[in-house]
A and B are shown apart, each in its own frame.
Chain A
Amino acid sequence: MADRTSDIVDPSLAEAGRSRIDWAADFMPALAAVSADPSAEVLRGRRVGVVLTLEPKTANLALALHRSGAEVSVFCSGTHTSDDVAAALDRAGVATFARSDADAAVDQRLLDRFLDQRIEFLIDDGAATARHMHTHRRDALESLVGIAEETTSGVRPLRVMADEGALAVPAIAVNDAACKQLFDNVYGTGQSVVMTLLDLTNTQLQGKLVVVVGYGYVGRGIADTAHALGARVVVTEVDPVRALQALHDGYRVETLEAASREGDVFFTATGIGYSLTGDHIRSMKDGAMVAVGGAGPPEVSLDGGNPVVRGGFARSQVRVLQVASDREVHLIADGECCNVAAAEGNPIEIMDLSLAVQFRAVVYLAQHAAGMAPGVYPVPPEVDDQVARAVLGARGIEIDVPTAAQISHATNWNESIDEKEAN
């Protein structure tokens, strides 16, 4: 049996971590509902590995799995670990491999120990651990039954792996669930990315020209939040349909090259590397700010033929890029996804939805994985309904149920013709 002794910075931080976890728990009714459902019984004694940014909300997912009788292990790289939360998980009985002081070598050692736990179900973020297992730790694939993937950036490589026949197990695209991407990516990331920039800089967006690079769900959320706060918004896109959608949402659409000369604040949300480069940055106005809202590959690249050099800090998390003798550009959170790197990530109620879907995805895999071929699967629609219903219920909101006549009308293609004929 694998050694389940946690590797964390300081067990004495457990109380502080617990307090933060409990605060979040109070506002996570969906996770509470799905983990109280009798279907969660199927997790008893199963080994679940969680690789998500380690903070109070994801800790509640780990604890919910733990309370359902699963044997839960957690890994998180140093840059995304809250030591107090790690300590609280360890105290609760979750094998936790996460140290904020870890360098790359230590992170590697912690990941290996995590994979030594003979994980059956992997909750992954960006498919980083799944890819690593398929390339470097194929021994760990032997125990693996299924994967539940959290992000857009992770679903994409999983599909590529499935297409190439490289994927060893079924994977559920939690990201694609309605209760995830309609809320998490739009309201959660949109709000928190914009608010992080405002919190870090003490500035306003009213009257500013905000450039949003990429108009997917995240880009739309950022554009909506910036607009709501009084900014004029310009969207840049490479996809004509998304560009057209931005236009219909009331935003100006331009090329990034043109927008980079006039924008006051830039948010990237493309999920694609090299989306904003040194050449764009060099053409920006003095004092322009650049922040990243995508959690995938580095979207902002300072490299290129004529790389931009990182200077000192104008204030905490605000990096000076000296682009000309009389012009500097300010890079937020060093180009990392800023709401995660420099704030608390997505809001609690939004993560409640995503994490409740994660929980149900693991339950689904535990019930059905034996009959599922390797591949990427959508979240079953009844999961979305159950999660949405739980949140509405917790808020005391009732909705209508369709009448028999409505159901009959919606499901019989010839009914309206019959009615006309009867008349």
Chain B
Amino acid sequence: MESAADRSRILDPSLHPEGSLAIAWARRHSPVLTGLVASTFEDGSLEGVRVAVVVHLEAKTALLASVLADAGAEVVVAGSNPHSTRDEIAAALVERGIEVHATRGSDYGTWEKDLLAVADREPMYIVDDGAELTIRIARQRPDLYRRLRGVSEETTTGVERLRRLEAEGNLPFPAMAANDAACKHLFDNRYGTGQSTVQAVLQLTNFVMAGKEVAVVGYGWVGRGIATYVRAMGGRVSVIEVDPVKGLEALMEGHEVGSAASVLPTADIVITATGGMRAIGMRDFPHLKPNVVLANAGHHDLEIDVAALEEQAGAPRQVRPGVDRYEWNGKPINVLSKGALVNIAGGLGHPIEIMDLSFSVQGLSLHELVVNDLDPGVHILPKPLDDAIARARLEAEGVHLDSLSSEQVDDMGDWIGGR
């Protein structure tokens, strides 16, 4: 029989020791995934179940894949973005018998072939990121699409894509919006992306945050987290928004809020976090401050319109690892990590403890899909499971909570005699 290694497409299997060490470190800091989630799967529900994992392929994702494989699943893995794939991690997964299709920095065509190679393993369930595999199966493998039993989706962007499919009447299976669980978006998007984005920007540039003016484009959970840490470390935040409620929230939080044309001319660093495309594009280049640093924290590589920049300014010069400088009409503009997700492409991604929460949501979401006969459509992880994840993490930190007294419970239920 063909081995996982034979079926895989990775850079170099001999890189596995370094990858295994990184996965072991992630395991040490992932008490919920290796505790609550692993024990939930002891019911055998994953035995022989084919699961595709298409998430940024690094140590924490590899740990999730390992936990699923340990529970008996047949796991096949690809990266959700070639710039974030770590070849040593891919090698470590193959070494422990998991099939992987991914190499770091592969071109778009090769990456898409990798995704289709995963599709050709006919997964029953997908743990997806940005719905990258799901939408490709919908378009290019319609038969398989109809046979899919469920998808659990990691990101805001991906959940939106799934909801669009549902609205079009083209979601024939249940999908779990893992992103929408409290233990995911309240922590991952805000603290995880917030911290690690600021961290990556500082590491790639060797800048200090104190005294900087930072424009944050988009004030969703991610933008909010970035703004929190920029300010906490001594930077000033200006928010660019199109949504009036979010703009008002940013203002109440004490940040400057304004249009791109008013904010960009004084911003030292611009970070996009809209989850959309071309948040910083042709109309914005004239406003940028000379020697500005542009970084992207959103799902799409296209959030900073690097292609348009290159078309107008010509090819960039790499001035530091991870920093490309364009000369736009004589004005230097620096782009970090080629506009890819800066925290993952230019750093180590989210902190491990945050991904422990997110992947625990993914794990329990997958379990829900496997053991329950859910209707087609987008579902959210039931609150008791969300709570169980938070409680497990608190307990790992040695924190125990009170529970409501019977009087408190009675009072909350008493809607007629309210005082």
Chain A positions near chain B (C-beta within 8 angstroms): 19-20, 22-24, 26-27, 56-57, 183, 187-188, 191, 195, 198-199, 201-204, 206-207, 225, 228-230, 287, 314-315, 318, 343-344, 346-350, 395-396
Shortest beta-carbon contacts, A-B, top 3: A228-B232, A347-B208, A204-B351
Contact of A204 among B191, B207, B291, B323 (CB under 8 A): B191
- Known contacts A202-B59, A343-B203; 8 additional CB pairs below 8 A are A23-B323, A187-B211, A229-B232, A314-B24, A314-B28, A347-B206, A349-B207, A350-B208
- A344 contacts which chain B residues (CB < 8 A)? 206
Q: Are B348 and A204 in contact (CB under 8 A)?
A: no
Chain B positions near chain A (C-beta within 8 angstroms): 21-22, 24-26, 28-29, 59, 191-192, 195, 199, 202-203, 205-211, 229, 232-234, 266, 291, 318-320, 323, 332, 347-349, 351-354, 397
CA distance A188 to B208 in the complex (A): 7
Given known contacts A187-B208, A203-B352, A195 and B199 CB-to-CB distance under 8 angstroms: yes
Q: Are B208 and A203 in contact (CB under 8 A)?
A: no
- B211 contacts which chain A residues (CB < 8 A)? 187, 349, 395
- A396 contacts which chain B residues (CB < 8 A)? 266
Determine which residue in A183, A225, A349, A395 has the highest number of CB atoms from chain B within 10 A of its CB, and name it.
Answer: A349
- B26 contacts which chain A residues (CB < 8 A)? 202
CA distance A57 to B351 in the complex (A): 29
- B233 contacts which chain A residues (CB < 8 A)? 191, 225, 228-229
13 contacts between A and B (CB under 8 A): A56-B206, A187-B210, A187-B211, A202-B25, A202-B26, A230-B191, A287-B29, A315-B21, A315-B25, A346-B208, A347-B206, A349-B208, A349-B211
Q: Are A229 and B229 in contact (CB under 8 A)?
A: yes
Residue of B nearest to A55 (CB): B206
Contact of A26 among B24, B232, B291 (CB under 8 A): B291
CA distance A318 to B22 in the complex (A): 11
CB distance from B399 to the nearest CB of A (A): 9
Q: Are B397 and A202 in contact (CB under 8 A)?
A: no
CA distance A289 to B106 in the complex (A): 36
Q: Are A198 and B208 in contact (CB under 8 A)?
A: no
CA distance A187 to B229 in the complex (A): 14
- B29 contacts which chain A residues (CB < 8 A)? 203, 287
Contact of A203 among B266, B347, B353 (CB under 8 A): B353
Given known contacts A22-B319, A203-B353, A229-B232, A198 and B210 CB-to-CB distance under 8 angstroms: no
- B199 contacts which chain A residues (CB < 8 A)? 195, 198-199
CA distance A121 to B199 in the complex (A): 38
- A57 contacts which chain B residues (CB < 8 A)? 206
Residue of B nearest to A395 (CB): B211
Q: Are B208 and A191 in contact (CB under 8 A)?
A: yes
CB distance from B221 to the nearest CB of A (A): 15
Q: Are A206 and B191 in contact (CB under 8 A)?
A: yes
- A201 contacts which chain B residues (CB < 8 A)? 25
Q: Are B208 and A348 in contact (CB under 8 A)?
A: yes
- A230 contacts which chain B residues (CB < 8 A)? 191
Residue of A nearest to B397 (CB): A207
- B332 contacts which chain A residues (CB < 8 A)? 26
Given known contacts A228-B233, A315-B21, A350-B208, A206 and B195 CB-to-CB distance under 8 angstroms: yes
- B354 contacts which chain A residues (CB < 8 A)? 204
CB distance from B215 to the nearest CB of A (A): 15
